[in-house]
Structure 1
Amino acid sequence: MKLKKVLLNTMMLTVVTALSIGCGASKKLTSSAENKAASLDLPKVVNIGTQQMPNDEKIAIEKGFFEKELGVEVNIVQFEAGDIRNALVSGDIDFALLGSASATQGIASGIDVETIWIHEILGEAERLVVKNNSNINSMKDLVGKKIATPFTTTTHYSLLKALELNGISQRDVTLYDMQMPEIYAAWQRGDIDAAYAWEPTLSNLLKDGKTLLSSKDMSEKGVVTSNVEVVRREFAQRYPDIVTKYIKAVNKSINLYNESQAEAVKTIADALEITEEEALKQIQGSIWLTAEQQLEPAYFGTSAKKGNLVESLKDTADFLYKQKSISSVPRLSTFENAVNPSYIENALK
């Protein structure tokens, strides 16, 4: 089984463009602000690719933190997991929220980006769940079963590692590459026995399912996954202040959650159209880090001495190479070059 390759074609460009117009929450500035942006050699518009997740970026979007911090027009474009990297490659977006496995594959495959922020360390927010009537009570019971997850994502990586750790070959199961809406539809039809999914789809699956394994369980086995933010290197080098201001915006969301949890939870609940109780449950399924915490050795480290994030991405790449998902042996230097703590450092000055 091979992971999806990045495909650049006219149809994809058309879809991304349509998404930018139809799905994006574009917000305009006044003509005076646009003139100011032009005079300061700022971009006329910043395109931020996101996914439907209960995290700090979602709060920043809903609260308008990006517009306030960046000072230019901001276009928010929502994607499913498989499409967002294609838009990044084509230059249709400047920033992208990616799972650590997807970011790793992109970096190892030559996509010229910098990793600038960890949105969350994943735990109970991502789980391998099975149908209540599937008679699956252990990992060994998955043999011969049908399992769905989006390929080239944190859930896919965790699923493959879980199978490997339990001595189960990929040939012993049937894997389906599905996005979250497709997974839920297949689940309701009874077409699949299990799925490794994230919120908010995860909560819907659990209405008729049970947890077999979580990403928290996997992290305790040394398989750590996260959602990260990457930015096109060309964009970052031309507009480093914009990247720093992006960091300020999402860190403002973290501070809001830490200082006024009720407001942050309500913001997520309204955005995802779920109850506040459910929003809090989903948020607590992962670990949010402040800018100061991100600079600790366990994560980004500093510009002078980069932290464990580099090794974590390299370990993920080694696994993907073994799975034949990337074509060449990944070098540690590739990930050292792609992890850039300087924007977080500058945001804290």
Structure 2
Amino acid sequence: MNHHLPKAGLTAALGLALTAALTGCGTSNGADGGSSDTVTIGTLRSQPHLYQPYFMERFAEEGVSYEVTTFDNSPDIKNALSSGAIDFAVLGAPSMLAGSAAGEDVRIIGSAANGGSGFVGTPEISGPEALAGARIGYPAGSSQEILLKLTLEAHGIDPDEDVELVNLAYPDMAPAYESGQVDAFLSAETGVSIALEAGAHEIASPYETPIGGVNIVFGTRAELIEDNPELVQSVTDSFIQAIGLMNEDPDTWVDGVVETFGLDAAVTARSVQNITPRYALDEAYLTELGAQAEQMVVFDQISGEPDLDTLIDPTFVEASEFAE
């Protein structure tokens, strides 16, 4: 079922979700007289690397159903999660790191997707060495902002002096490039693939920094973990199986994204080749996530590093019978 909500209905939907969340997940009586849980999950609209929630209903345990609510950006998802308006979230790692640094009751219980970013520009920009004076789009406060600044610095380019950085929302990135507002951008899919399909080319890989491909995570609140760990495990199991489907059957993944959001099929097919769905919180991943937290401090996205031992709870992915 397509649960994509128009902006006009989002406030009302979150109000209803918050009412249910005050007592945990929404609960109702099933046909057999037993109780059932409606789990609310937040994600971003129109981004293939955050599509996992739409497949989770296929793998729902008996008595559990999923309601997907879409947002325009990851900070809004994190705020809804922290407030209790939603139960779980698939969102950008920086938002969870920022929430934890601010003392919010959020927990990362799985990774969700690596990659999904790209640094592209006009054919005249042959490589990083040709970027001097260029106008470069980026989404402020995101993984891509850090990747852009680290990539520029690695090639001897001062982000503050040698180029002009233009803060743009994800949906505005490709149109800004096509209209000539920016010469290049480092942003997320599907904007990257839209530009590539229109003749842009990759300037440099955004993954050759200490952060690697870390981008999207799966999260919830400590309160829900404490109150209902059985449900958290059930939801995590569904999430892991959704990840498996995306990896094993990318055509179904592409078809789902196209049907849900009305995106171009060729662009979507290209974009998923730049995304690695995943769930594990292994040592290598945690090292890269820690590097991202450090760089968020360096680039003034947060004032202090979060306590990763508190923020990250690998218990549920490690305990899942569906984990490999």
How high is the TM-score relative to the length of structure 2? 0.80
**Structure 1 pair 265–204 and aligned structure 2 pair: CA distance change class (3 A):** closer
CA distance in 1, matches of 2:63, 2:118: 38
Match of 1:204 in 2: 194
Select the residue among 123, 143, 149 that pairs with 1:154: 143
**Consecutive unaligned residues in structure 1, runs of 5 or more:** 1-13, 23-27, 295-299, 302-306
Select the residue among 71, 74, 96 that pairs with 2:66: 74
TM-superposed deviation, 1:198: 1.7
Match of 2:47 in 1: 53
| Kept after mapping to 1: 8 A contact 2:57/2:65 | no
Match of 1:32 in 2: 30
Q: Within the alignment, does 1:254 sit opposite 2:243 as a pair?
A: yes
| Aligned pairs, number | 302
Match of 2:111 in 1: 118
Give CA deviations for 1:297-334 in whole Å, capped at 9, x if unaligned.
xxx24xxxxx2333322222221212222223x26xx1
TM-superposed deviation, 1:34: 11
Equivalences for residues 135-214 of structure 1 within 5 A: 135-172=124-161, 173-206=163-196, 207-214=198-205
| Kept after mapping to 2: 8 A contact 1:62/1:271 | no
TM-superposed deviation, 1:91: 2.7
**Structure 1 pair 144–246 and aligned structure 2 pair: CA distance change class (3 A):** same
The SS at the match of 2:98 is helix
The structure with the greater share of residues assigned to helix is 1
Match of 1:131 in 2: 122
How high is the TM-score relative to the length of structure 1? 0.75
Match of 1:4 in 2: none
TM-superposed deviation, 1:62: 4.8
Give CA deviations for 1:49-94 in whole Å, capped at 9, x if unaligned.
1013224x6254156336x337345331111224322323333222
Match of 1:245 in 2: 234
TM-superposed deviation, 1:192: 1.4
Q: Within the alignment, does 1:87 sit opposite 2:80 as a pair?
A: yes
Identity value in percent: 24
The SS at the match of 1:324 is coil
Q: Which amino acid aligns with 1:201?
A: G
Higher mean alpha-carbon deviation, 147-156 vs 135-144, is at: 135-144
CA distance in 2, matches of 1:70, 1:156: 42
The structure with the greater share of residues assigned to strand is 2
Match of 2:3 in 1: none
Q: Which amino acid aligns with 1:318?
A: E
**Structure 1 pair 157–129 and aligned structure 2 pair: CA distance change class (3 A):** same
| Kept after mapping to 1: 8 A contact 2:151/2:206 | no
